[in-house]
A and B are shown apart, each in its own frame.
Chain A
Amino acid sequence: MSDPKHRTIKVDYLARVEGEGSLYVKLKGNQVQDVKLKIFEPPRLFEAFLRGRHFSEVPDIVARICGICPVAYQMSAVHALERALEIHVDPAVRLLRRLFYCGEWIESHALHVYMLHAPDFLGYQDFIQMAPDHRHIVERALRLKKIGNLIMTILGGREIHPVSVAVGGFYKVPARRDLLPLVDDLKWALQASLETAKWVAGFEFPDFEQDYEFVSLSHPSEYPLNEGRIVSNRGLNIGASEYEKYFIEQHVQHSNALHSILRGRGSYKVGPMARFNLNFEKLPDVAKEAARECGLSLPCRNPFRSIVVRAIELVFACHEALRVIEEYQPPSAPRQQVPVHSSVGQAATEAPRGLLYHHYKLDQEGLIILAKIVPPTSQNQKRIEDDLWQFVPRLAEMPTEEIRWKCEQAVRNYDPCISCATHFLRLNLEREQP
Chain B
Amino acid sequence: MTFQVIGCGNLDRGDDAAGLLVARRLRQLGVPAQEQSGEAFVLMESLASAEKVVLVDAVAAEGEPGAVQVWNANLVPLPRESFCCSTHAFGVREAVELARILGRLPLTLIVYGIAGRNFQMNASLSPEVAGAVERAAQRIAADFFGAAPTKNAFAGAVKEII
Contacts and interface: CB of A to CB of B under 8 A. Distances in A.
B98 A127 contact: yes
Chain B contact residues, majority secondary structure: loop
Interface stretch (B67-75, B89-97, B130-138): B89-97
B28 interface: no
Interface residues of B, number: 20
Interface string A123-153: 0000110011001001100100110010000
A16 interface: yes
A42 interface: yes
Is the interface on chain A under 10, 10 to 19, 20 to 34, or 35 or more residues?
Answer: 20 to 34
Contacts of B151: none
A171 B13 CA distance: 31
B79 to A, nearest CB: 13
Given A145-B41, A149-B41, A18 B102 contact: no
Contacts of A142: 41, 44
Contacts of B121: 42, 421
Interface in B41-70: 41-42, 44
Interface in B4-29: 13
A116 interface: yes
Nearest to A417: B88
Nearest to B44: A142
Interface string A7-51: 000000101111000000000000000000000001000000000
A111 B89 CA distance: 10
B101 interface: yes
Nearest to A68: B88
Contact of A116 (B13, B87, B89, B119): B89
Contacts of A67: 39, 87-88
Interface of B: 13, 37, 39, 41-42, 44, 84-90, 94, 97-98, 101-102, 119, 121
Interface of A: 13, 15-18, 42, 67-68, 111, 115-116, 127-128, 131-132, 135, 138-139, 142, 145-146, 149, 159-160, 420-423
